Every structure is written in C-alpha cells, then in structure tokens.
C-alpha cells in the first residue's frame, strides 16, 4: 500500500487535490463505534453497526484499488501526522485516526485474502 494513500485531516485543513474526501461525521454511528473501548472498536468483525462497517470496508477497497483518500474528522482542528504515533492507537481519541487505522487494517486483510485465493487457500502469512 502506498504510504500516502490515506491521510487524516482536521476540520481546518483542506483535502489534497488528487484524493477522495470522506468525512467521519457523515457516517451514521461510526463515531459511537470508535468511542468504545479499544478492544471493541479494533475488532472489526464484532462491530454491530453494519453501515459503519461497510463504510470502512468500502474505503479500504478504494485504497486497495490504488485511490488516495483523505479522512476528515471534526474532533481536531489540525492533525500533524508527524507528531502522532500510530503505535499508540489504543490511546488515540481522534475519530479520523481511528478510522484510518481500521481502513489500513482492512487493506491488509484484503491483500491477504487475495493471496490466499490465488494459492488455493494454502498461503500462510
């Protein structure tokens, strides 16, 4: 995956010209899902909000197919990705960052599933 494929921006930032823009606030129930404990929101298969789950999966497909996306949150004024350590996502409050994290995980899952299909299911990661 291209490292510039997903960018999270705050409400005072503008989207990149060559990207698709998606706003976290426009996805019904996504913020509520991401406000749960890390052990709940990070387990994508256990989400009970199918609309939010489908939105994450659709964005992952966009990225997997080579599109660049910007995720705009309304909880942050400005996001400086150089100061955010994604390793500590469990402590992150930003809905945009959490969304990007889940999208990245789904892109990886899609790639792994494709490899497994191409090798008759015998591929092991």
Angle at 81 between CA 76 and CA 82, to 5 degrees: 135
pLDDT band at 109 (very low <50, low <70, confident <90, very high): very high
Is a pLDDT exceeding 90 seen at residue 124? Answer: no
Q: Which residues contact 8 (CB under 8 A, 6 or more apart)?
A: 70, 71, 72, 73, 79, 81, 94, 96, 97, 99, 100
pLDDT band at 3 (very low <50, low <70, confident <90, very high): confident
- Cα 95 to its chain centre, rounded Å, is 10
Please report where in the chains the tokens 């494929």 appear, as a residue. Answer: 5
Is a pLDDT exceeding 90 seen at residue 125? Answer: no
User: Which of 66-70, 111-115, 120-124 shows the lowest per-residue confidence on average (mean pLDDT)?
Assistant: 120-124
Is a pLDDT exceeding 70 seen at residue 18? Answer: yes
Q: Give pTM, 2 decimals.
A: 0.85
**pLDDT at residue number 89:** 83
If one counts every other C-beta atom within 10 angstroms of the C-beta of residue 58, the result is 12
Q: Give me the percent of the chain exceeding a pLDDT of 90.
A: 66
Mean pLDDT score of the chain = 87
């Amino acid at each position: 995956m291209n490292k510039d494929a997903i960018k999270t921006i705050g409400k005072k930032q503008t989207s990149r010209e060559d990207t698709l823009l998606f706003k976290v606030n426009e996805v019904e129930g996504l913020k509520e899902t991401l406000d749960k404990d890390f052990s709940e929101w990070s387990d994508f298969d256990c989400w009970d909000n199918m609309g939010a789950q489908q939105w994450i999966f659709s964005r992952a497909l966009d990225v997997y197919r080579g599109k660049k996306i910007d995720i705009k949150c309304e909880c942050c004024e400005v996001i400086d990705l150089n100061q955010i350590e994604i390793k500590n996502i469990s402590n992150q409050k930003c809905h945009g960052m959490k969304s990007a994290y889940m999208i990245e995980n789904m892109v990886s899952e899609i790639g792994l599933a494709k490899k497994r299909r191409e090798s008759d299911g015998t591929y092991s990661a």
